[in-house]
Every structure is written in structure tokens, then in C-alpha cells.
Structure 1
Amino acid sequence: MKNIGININISKDIDGKILKYILEIIYNVIIDCNVKVFKKSKDLQYDDIKELDLLIVLGGDGTILGAARALGKNQIPIMGVNIGNLGFLTTVESSRFKVAIEAVNQGKFFVEERLMLKCNVFKDGENKSYTSLNDVVISKGTLSRIIEYEIFIDGKKYTEFVADGVIVATPTGSTAYSLSAGGPIIYPQLDVLSLSPICPHSLGMRTIVLDSKSEIVIKLISEWESAFLTVDGQESVELKENSNILITSYPFKCKLIRLEGYDYFDVLREKIIWRTKKVRK
């Protein structure tokens, strides 16, 4: 891998020491490589990044989410280096970066593909498009009352219900907001989507898991209340009255670098579910 990009969350490296540390290791391990630094995920949308062999993301899960959306159809493998808090999606902790980049340089890794979502918002002939790695959330405004939603799946009416909101999540996003709303943990390699209500006004309204090829249409049918569409918890847009939202799987996958020996369930136990500690006898 000769052409390497680095996307860093500068808020977590204000003095630049982490970036300097990472660059020194890269130049020592990979001879004659070309490195380009991106200090904002959005910069990945505008620069010519097609020649990159690898994108190293320095930050936490949020930085990876932003990078995945910005890369779009440019399916460049992402190597996440955790300098944030949780680091569930990252490849390695920053303290282990030298070992990790040596393994990658020697080909001792595999690429894990993650499903992404595409969301289209239609209103008065306009069509705005968004992508996400985790989820698309439609929710009421701060002072709004609960909203009535009408859901169609593959052109067929699924249901109507009243709730604070709706979450459509990928398997990657199943351990994020969707999990807090009572949704299931979904193994990341499954080709499915989940649709979960947020605080539904009905005991019978629960999560439904759908084939990733499904087309989900969400309509807001109650008297108009303030509502927002949020992508990966990072981008938000206010929905106008009579907006229709179409959510499908994105035709391109997010590619995450995994080192040999990676075990999803180890990471799940450590960082999401139990954060187990050895019981003293």
C-alpha cells in the first residue's frame, strides 16, 4: 500500500502529537509511501481520493461514520485507529498502531464489508439524498407532540402508528441508537435492515427486520408537527410538511480493515454489552 490517506479528528489531537506519532510510524514501516492528511471528513468528498489504497481514520466511531459517508462510492478500505472513547468500529487502539500497520503492510488482514443506507427526501418535486453507515432517524422536534407515521415496504402498506420517531438501521447501526430503542443486535455480515419505533404509543409496535433489498417509505400523516431527519447522529435536516422519505440499501459498501484474529464477539462483549470484568474468587 503506497498511497495512504489520513483523516484525523483534530479535536482529539489539538497539539498534533498523535498525528506526528502516526506519520513517523508509517514512514518507518512503509518505504516510499505517499501520505495525504485530511483534517475534515468532508474534505474526502472534494479531493481526488481514487488513488488511495488505504484511509487511516484517527478518532472514534463518529469519525469513521463521517469518513464512510464522505467516501461514498469510492470504496477505499478504512483502518480505524481509536483515539476516542468507545472505538467499536475501529481496527486498533493508537498504542498498538505500529503492530497493526506492520500487519497491514505484510498482508495479514482482511476487509470486512458493511452495509450502508441511502435516504431520499421528496417534497414538491425536490429530491435530496443522504447516505449512512449506522442509521436514519426520523423524530419529532424538541417541543412537538408525538407524530403519526405511515410505513410502506416494497409498495405495500405495513402499518400506521404513533411514536416519537422511527429508526431504520443497518447491522452496524443495530448496536447504536436502535439498541437503545429495544431493537436487536444484528450480526454485521447479515444483509438485512431493521425498522424500530421510538417510544411507540402501542405495546404491539416492535422492531421488524427486513431484507436489505427492501424499499421503505415513511410518511408523516398527523397534523403537522416539527420533525427532523438525522443521519448517523451527525447530519440533520428539518422535514417539511408532506415530505416522503424513501430508504434503501446503498449500492456501495463500507470497507473496514480487520487484522488476523479479529473476533466480533470479543469486541461486542468488551465494548457494547457487558464490558465484562473477571470475577474475583
Structure 2
Amino acid sequence: MKIIIVYKDDAGAQRLARELHKKLESRGASAACMGLREMTKSALWQADLVLVLGGDGTFLKTARCCATQGIPVLGVNLGTIGFLSSIEPEQLLQEVDRILNRDYRIESRMMLDVRLIRDGMEVYHGLSMNDVVIRACVSHTITIGLQIDRLFHTTYTGDGVVCATPTGSTAYSFSAGGPVLDVDLPALVITPICPQLSCSRALVVRSSARLVFELVAGHPTAFSVDGEDELPLAKGDRVEVVRSPVTAKIAEVFPVSSLDRVLRRFERLNNTRAEASNDMNILLQSCYVL
């Protein structure tokens, strides 16, 4: 079994990668380590599994790179929340034999095909696993028109708009007030960011819909895919979004429903915040005594 370990640019992640690499090879597996910056499609060629040591950003970049080759990706949470991770670092080394025996479930996650059209010419084409975001770069509103299946649907005026997959519905879209979608639901969610009108709400559409977002008017604006590849937009630019035939293969060591995953991650985040708040209260009390 050929396993490649991709780690984020962090000393702790590097140490874990070296330890994991040593343990995998001691079990007879073919293993290799590389930093996120070294990762290329050719470097991942013919891997049976890619282990990602990092947060959701590291995972998304790796998953997009692996998707076109059909390589499953298993996330090890070294980030803050880790919605996309399957296993925690303290569990990883204990489950090496299980991973080598392929005792995990592989889920297929929807991806988006994204194009930026300017003056009739394609200037960007990429894949998205999480979301496509169009947002103002300054503290002023912008106006974005939305077409669904070539028919005008609505106009959003505000800070921008997010178009998310079910996987990405727990990210920026959720923070902007959008709903959480089950990862198996064939749908997309379109969520306005700080809309000027209170009647502007998140919209859930079927995944087969063809969406076109056009920058009608506004101040400096940018669009990004999965939080990366940020590009400036000009008036009249069109961002076309359709469901991609390519899917991301996600390995799950401890399979849980998407709702359970969300609840567990939020519980973990709330516990972390509670601990930080308690530490701050202790510090303030100490300062007061002094």
C-alpha cells in the first residue's frame, strides 16, 4: 500500500509526519512525506491514500489536488475546528494497522466547476470542494445579479455572496447565516453576506442548476475558491458555477453522520472558548488582587 503524508507548515505537524512515516514503514507500507508547498499532482501519482496533517485549509487544497486522480484523502485534525477531519492526532498512531488494512469508509463529496468570464473570455477555471465567495474588498456595498439556468432570479446588494456545497455549508456560508446541509444532499446553498435588505435570505437550489453571478456595480471586489485563488473582479464579470463530474474521495476512520459531526465540532469549539474565557477570568482576578 502506497501512502503519502501531506503536512502543513508547522513544526508539530512535521514531527507527527516523521513519526507516522516511521511507523508505516515498520509495518511494510510504502510511505512518503511532503509539505503542503511541495505537493503536486505528479508527486501524488498512484498513491492509494493521502493522509493530511493540518486544518481544513490544508485538507481542502490536498483534496482538490487528489480529486481528479480519484485518490482518497484522510484528514488528521491539527487545526482549530477540523470539520473535514476524520481522526484526531492522539488516535492516529493507534489506528495505523486499521488504516493499512483499509478498514475505513470512503465518501464521495460533491465538487463545483467554477469559471470566471470577462468580456466573453475565460480567465479562470478551477474546482471547489467548499465554496465560491464574491465579496467587497472595502467597507461599501456591491451589487451582484444571480441567474439560475439562464433565467434572472434576484439581485443581492451587500458585502457579497457565498455559494457553497453541502460540505462547505458549515464554513463561511454558515457564518453568514446559511443552513447546514447534509453532505449527501444534492443541493447548493447561496447565502448573501450582510445583505442590505432583511428580506434577502439564504437560498437552497438543486445541484444540477447552472448558476451565474454577475458583478453589476460596486466598489473593489474579489472572488475566491475555497478561500484561495483570490482574484479581482471588474464590473460585468461573470462567475459561472455548475456541479463538477469530479468528486472528492474522503476516507472516514470513524464514520458519523454529517449532523453528528457538526454537533461534535461545535461542542469542541464551545469548550475551547469556555476554557479560554475561564483562563481570562483567572488572569483578571489575579491582576485585580495585585
Structure-2 separation of matches of 1:106 and 1:75: 19
1:268 aligns with 2:262: yes
- Matched with 2:192 is 197
Residue-by-residue CA offset, 1:114-152 (whole Å, 9 max, x unaligned): 111121000134311122111000001124x21111110
Kindly provide the amino acid, as one letter, of the partner of residue 177 in structure 2. G
1:62 aligns with 2:57: yes
Gaps of 5+ in 2: 272-290
Structure-1 separation of matches of 2:223 and 2:87: 32
Q: How many residues align?
A: 270
Within 5 Å, give how 1:9-158 maps onto structure 2: 9-13=8-12, 16-29=14-27, 31=28, 33-40=29-36, 43-45=39-41, 47-127=42-122, 128-143=124-139, 145-158=140-153
Deviation at 1:109, TM superposition (A): 1.3
Equivalent position SS for 1:17: helix
Go from structure 1 to structure 2 and tell me whether the alpha carbon gap of 1:275 and 1:9 turns closer, same or farther (over 3 Å shift).
closer
Alpha-carbon RMSD across the aligned residues, in angstroms, is 2.0
State TM-score, norm by structure 1.
0.89
1:237 aligns with 2:231: yes
CA contact (8 A) 1:7 1:41 kept: no
1:172 aligns with 2:145: no
Go from structure 1 to structure 2 and tell me whether the alpha carbon gap of 1:105 and 1:138 turns closer, same or farther (over 3 Å shift).
same
Kindly provide the amino acid, as one letter, of the partner of residue 130 in structure 2. N
Structure-1 separation of matches of 2:65 and 2:82: 19
Kindly provide the amino acid, as one letter, of the partner of residue 137 in structure 2. G
Deviation at 1:205, TM superposition (A): 1.1
Name the structure where helix makes up a greater proportion of residues.
2
After superposing on structure 2, the runs of 4+ consecutive aligned residues of structure 1 that deviate more than 4 Å are 273-277
Structure-1 separation of matches of 2:11 and 2:209: 38
Structure-2 separation of matches of 1:207 and 1:267: 22
Equivalent position SS for 1:221: strand
State TM-score, norm by structure 2.
0.86
Q: Which moved more, 1:251-260 or 1:130-139?
A: 251-260
Deviation at 1:201, TM superposition (A): 1.2
Structure-2 separation of matches of 1:192 and 1:156: 18
- Matched with 2:157 is 162
Structure-1 separation of matches of 2:261 and 2:9: 26
Structure-1 separation of matches of 2:195 and 2:254: 42
Gaps of 5+ in 1: none
Deviation at 1:264, TM superposition (A): 3.4
Structure-2 separation of matches of 1:185 and 1:34: 38
CA contact (8 A) 2:187 2:204 kept: yes
